[in-house]
Structure 1
């Protein structure tokens, strides 16, 4: 193979990808069999198999037990809005921003105390094993799961206060900024890091994805005078949504 030349399996995958993109292989159409790919492209069984694996890893096709491999219907990505402004209504950013987008957002949550893992402790700058309140959310738009989120708050900050449970009490359902302000903790900045990775099994189960699907992860941490008061992972299916930021210019 000369410099810059693609391996055979990538060239086959590229041609099949183009056929999917231009409609020659429309959604729900069965992908050519391994034997058909081998014959049509003059490649080995191994090359044909690897090309199919590439398309599956990219989420363009899916296997159906006992039936074969089919072209997936590609949804038009929708927007999940995030912004740097503080909600004036007391609602969380998700509630306010999705309302602004006309989304029919609903959510479910559950909270429980647990010892902080090493990773969570590092993000909150506390000792591993210190108690935190973990809250898990599933957000839906029109009944369709759109994102899952897990947040952790150090009980050294919120324990034995009216805001210890994020979704209960007098400020249940309000954003972190408003809840912390109620216990005289002034949140003054937030850091978000966005990355991508294959979805975990439990995430894909909640989001309606299949193994191998890629998710975007927003790792968010709120700070008050340099002290982390909440950290969260917001997980979004990459094939269905885009994360859009609306940030003020100072």
Structure 2
């Protein structure tokens, strides 16, 4: 594997220029790696690095057992994060997808009494090792993956109540705000911190994207009206399919 970027970046730039010039059109299969390496007078490993660079950039995609292709652009939709999405009752995700004419569903797996890792404990203002319910979600729109979420709720808040497992019982699928309200916990604030990232192999497999694709990672925490954190989650959204927009209400001064 070359250690210096100079060995493969010029090749990546040459391939990029040929795609832009239309030598290979969207959906076209590129010549084999060996053919391209011979054409450019470089090793197969250098050509591999050059193609991997363009896969990360979203210009190419590798198909197992088939080859490397010029990537077909995917429809990119807007996902709006706002106070409005939390005031409709039920699942905010399902309501978001309905507004876009899509059926929002999800798959989930919950575990109770999972010791809080140090970072999660800090976000929930509990002690490391305190029991939590940990739920992993895969959210779908019309059966296609939209986002992933890893949610943590302290059992000090929900233990012994009908909502201890988020996706079981009479309020399954109703969302954090509605579920907490039924046990007297009023959500007052949600804080979200978005950060850029790149897809790991596991994330790429679950989201149907390529390893290294851009992601938006959102660290979200719900606080009750006493400013106590009652749920925190790490949400993963593929940037190639969704852009994130934040709607900020502006309070008007009294006349």
Is 2:170 aligned against 1:170? Answer: yes
CA contact (8 A) 1:82 1:97 kept: no
Distance 1:22 1:78 in 2: 27
TM-score, normalised on structure 2?
Answer: 0.83
Q: Residues 1-250 of structure 1 correspond to what in structure 2 (within 5 A)?
A: 7=6, 9-21=8-20, 23-34=22-33, 37=36, 44-45=42-43, 48-85=47-84, 87-113=86-112, 114-224=114-224, 225-250=226-251
Could you tell me which runs of 5 or more consecutive residues in structure 2 were left unpaired when the two chains were aligned. none
RMSD: 2.5
**How far does the alpha carbon of each residue in 1:167-206 deviate from its partner, in whole angstroms, 9 at most, with x for none?**
2333322222222222222221111111222223333222
Distance 2:33 2:208 in 1: 28
Tell me what 1:3 maps to: none
- With over 3 angstroms needed to count, the CA separation of the structure-2 counterparts of 1:218 and 1:76, relative to structure 1, is same
CA contact (8 A) 1:85 1:248 kept: no
CA contact (8 A) 1:191 1:220 kept: yes
Distance 1:143 1:79 in 2: 18
CA contact (8 A) 1:82 1:94 kept: no
User: 1:62 is paired with a residue of what secondary structure?
Assistant: strand
TM-score, normalised on structure 1?
Answer: 0.84
User: 1:216 is paired with a residue of what secondary structure?
Assistant: strand
CA contact (8 A) 2:56 2:210 kept: no
CA contact (8 A) 2:104 2:141 kept: yes
